[in-house]
């Protein structure tokens, strides 16, 4: 059904969207067209490029259900957006930040680096617990300034209940930051429903875009709390008034974009987003969960051979399913899968499969059959 958009090479089975996704055909076409336009006309049509950038921000606003596209900035990657938050807030010695024990380094290192300001990072142990939200909330205290979690953990695939965490943070006056890279484009996401203050995600995973362009959502009411650490022409209220000596910082999240945008990335991600929004997040989420259920059932039926790292309850996972072989190290099975051209990853102490909504069930079944060997 989606084969024309994803004409992946017949030799491979691509189960690695939690790492770096293949581009849809329309994204490649948009980038080729943009390259040709640059070759033939240079930047003659820059106003239309700006219009594409504005439309991209509107698409991302829709994906996140943000109140306004003025709350959306385009940055380089998730790590940069996390750094904008970490180095924008006015910390006091004795403050603490709460994260979880399963975070990818991007959402750990940046907080740990604040130790030089006397800020402690506490990792809530969410391994093997009945309610990860309770474990996280138990770590908050009167000196907690911010809670930063991944919506879906990169290794285990565990999905957190963001609404519960966001409500608790808002009630206690704690800022709520969400690394959404393993969720956006796979699962429905609503920044207003989960009361997030900051959300960030690079484009190259479930959003099917290129590396080097990321969405950063900053809730309008907290934008002024972030001191800016980078300055340039593009972040000004009136960016094209180059002679203006009496400049002002943009009222919108454009204030976080100091200079010229990544226009190649803008054109690529805009094209990928048209596919995501045309397909619809409800359909995408449903298909992603069906694939996960298919894999979870397969591993659950073979307890003597495989142990699931990913929680089985539907509300506890998204598109990542990680498993460990019981009788051999994951590395050897991973090598076999690599030889058979199954593209996946070693993560979370096991093998991580991450098909997307378009992954044909037949291809997924072939990969699982290889494991049955």
- The beta-strand segments (E) located in the chain are 13-14, 72-75, 96-100, 120-124, 144-150, 175-179, 198-202, 214-218, 306-308, 321-325, 342-343, 345-347, 350-353
Q: Residue 249 and residue 207: Cα distance in Å, rounded?
A: 30
| Footprint (CB under 6 A) of ligand PLP, residues 82-101 | none
The answer to whether 202 contacts ligand PLP (rule: CB under 6 A) is yes
The answer to whether 79 contacts ligand PLP (rule: CB under 6 A) is yes
Q: How far is the CB of 202 from ligand PLP (least distance, A)?
A: 3
Structure tokens at 328: 């051999």
Q: Which residue among 21, 27, 69, 77 contacts ligand PLP (CB under 6 A)? A: 77
For ligand PLP, give the closer residue by CB, 25 or 113: 113
Beta bridge partners of 343: 14
C-alpha 221, offset from chain centre? 23
Radius of gyration of the chain (CA): 21
Closest CA to 208 of 63, 359, 20, 8: 20
The answer to whether 154 contacts ligand PLP (rule: CB under 6 A) is yes
Size of the site for ligand PLP (CB under 6 A): 13
Beta bridge partners of 317: 158
The answer to whether 104 contacts ligand PLP (rule: CB under 6 A) is yes
For ligand PLP, give the closer residue by CB, 34 or 154: 154
For ligand PLP, give the closer residue by CB, 16 or 291: 16
For ligand PLP, give the closer residue by CB, 298 or 322: 322
Q: How far is the CB of 42 from ligand PLP (least distance, A)?
A: 30
Q: How many CA atoms lie within 13 A of 360 on its CB side?
A: 14
| Footprint (CB under 6 A) of ligand PLP, residues 161-200 | 179, 181-182
Q: How far is the CB of 207 from ligand PLP (least distance, A)?
A: 11
Q: How far is the CB of 297 from ligand PLP (least distance, A)?
A: 25
Q: 21 with 356: CB under 8 angstroms?
A: yes
Q: How far is the CB of 132 from ligand PLP (least distance, A)?
A: 15
Q: 213 with 91: CB under 8 angstroms?
A: no
List residues binding ligand PLP (CB under 6 A).
Answer: 77-79, 104, 106-107, 150, 154, 179, 181-182, 202, 214
């Amino acid at each position: 059904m989606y084969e024309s958009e994803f004409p992946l090479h017949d030799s491979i089975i691509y189960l690695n969207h939690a790492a770096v996704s293949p581009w849809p055909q329309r994204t490649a076409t948009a980038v080729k067209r943009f390259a040709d336009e640059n070759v033939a006309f240079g930047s003659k049509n820059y106003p239309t490029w700006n219009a594409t950038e504005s439309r991209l921000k509107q698409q991302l606003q829709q994906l996140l259900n943000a109140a306004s596209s003025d709350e959306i900035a385009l940055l380089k990657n998730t790590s940069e957006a996390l750094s904008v938050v970490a180095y924008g807030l006015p910390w006091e010695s004795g403050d603490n930040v709460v994260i979880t024990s399963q975070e990818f380094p991007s959402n750990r290192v940046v907080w740990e680096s604040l130790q030089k300001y006397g800020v402690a990072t506490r990792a809530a142990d969410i391994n093997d617990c009945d309610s990860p939200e309770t474990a996280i909330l138990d770590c908050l205290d009167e000196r907690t300034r911010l809670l930063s979690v991944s919506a879906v953990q990169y290794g285990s695939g565990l999905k957190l209940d963001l609404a519960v965490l966001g409500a608790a943070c808002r009630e206690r006056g704690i800022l709520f930051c969400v690394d959404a890279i393993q969720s956006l484009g796979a699962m429905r996401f609503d920044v207003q429903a989960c009361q997030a203050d900051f959300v960030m995600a690079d484009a190259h995973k479930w959003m099917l875009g290129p590396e080097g362009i990321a969405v950063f959502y900053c809730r309008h009411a907290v934008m002024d709390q972030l001191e800016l650490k980078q300055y340039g022409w593009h972040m000004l209220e009136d960016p094209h008034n180059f002679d203006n000596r009496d400049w002002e910082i943009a009222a919108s999240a454009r204030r976080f974009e100091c200079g010229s945008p990544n226009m190649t990335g803008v054109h690529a991600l805009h094209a990928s987003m048209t596919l995501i929004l045309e397909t619809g997040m409800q359909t995408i989420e449903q298909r992603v969960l069906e694939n996960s259920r298919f894999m979870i059932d397969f591993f659950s039926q073979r307890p003597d051979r495989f142990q699931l790292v990913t929680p089985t309850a539907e509300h506890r996972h998204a598109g990542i399913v990680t498993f460990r072989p019981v009788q051999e190290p994951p590395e050897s099975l991973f090598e076999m899968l690599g030889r058979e051209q199954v593209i996946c990853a070693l993560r979370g102490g096991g093998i991580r499969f991450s098909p997307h909504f378009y992954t044909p069930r037949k291809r997924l079944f072939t990969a699982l059959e290889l494991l049955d060997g």
